[in-house]
Amino acid sequence: EALAAALGDRVEYRHVNVADSAAVDAAMTAVKDAFGAVDVLINNAGITRDATLLKMEDAQFDQVLDVNLKGVFHCGRAAARIMVEQGAGAIVNTSSVVALYGNFGQSNYVATKSGVIGMTKVWARELGRKGVRVNAVAPGFIGTDMVMAMPEKVRDMMAGKAPMQRLGEPGEIADAYLFLAGAQASYINGAVLSVDGGLTL
């Protein structure tokens, strides 16, 4: 809300539960009504509820699935309906490098991020002919507020896994989204861009 207020009429803030398809549809329609179009969707909502397979409860699995997979589906479908009418648009979904190699204690999270890659490729095939591009970003270990609050030893271990020997910066992920959403990526469709310092080599 503070960011929207600071930027004025160029930004409108809406708090939406992405697991609620009706709420997502209403919000997307409101955006179109306010701005006249929906040009880009950055599909970035996500949560974690970590536990090993033997300890994970159904509720933990379902919560992550509802937000990270069904939420991506709800937002993508709502945006795509408008973009297809426009004959143009770009959707950038958020996956993760863990979808490519797994991660201890994250059966739910990894399943959703793998599913995001699959949906990205399906949507790219379905929507490309209608003028809508769909791609995904797969971030590695990024120095977000959550990560930077971890003990230094843990952060160093994470950074050491990538050949570049450092954590990524949030701005580097934002640049990837900006690239895939923009005109410079006009012939990129169905791609998964890993931004991970070489972690998945």
Cβ count near 91 (within 10 Å):
27
CA distance 46 to 71: 9
Residue type, 58: D
Annotated catalytic, 109? yes
Classified as helix, coil or strand, 133 is strand
Cβ count near 6 (within 10 Å):
8
- Residue 103 DSSP code: -
Cβ count near 102 (within 10 Å):
10
CA distance 70 to 44: 12
Q: What is the largest CA-CA distance in the chain?
A: 51
Q: What is the CA 196 to chain-centroid distance, rounded?
A: 15
Q: Which residues pair with 136 in a beta bridge?
A: 93, 192
Q: Token pair of 109, please?
A: 């999270």
Q: Which of 101, 109, 177, 187 is catalytic?
A: 109
Catalytic residues: 109
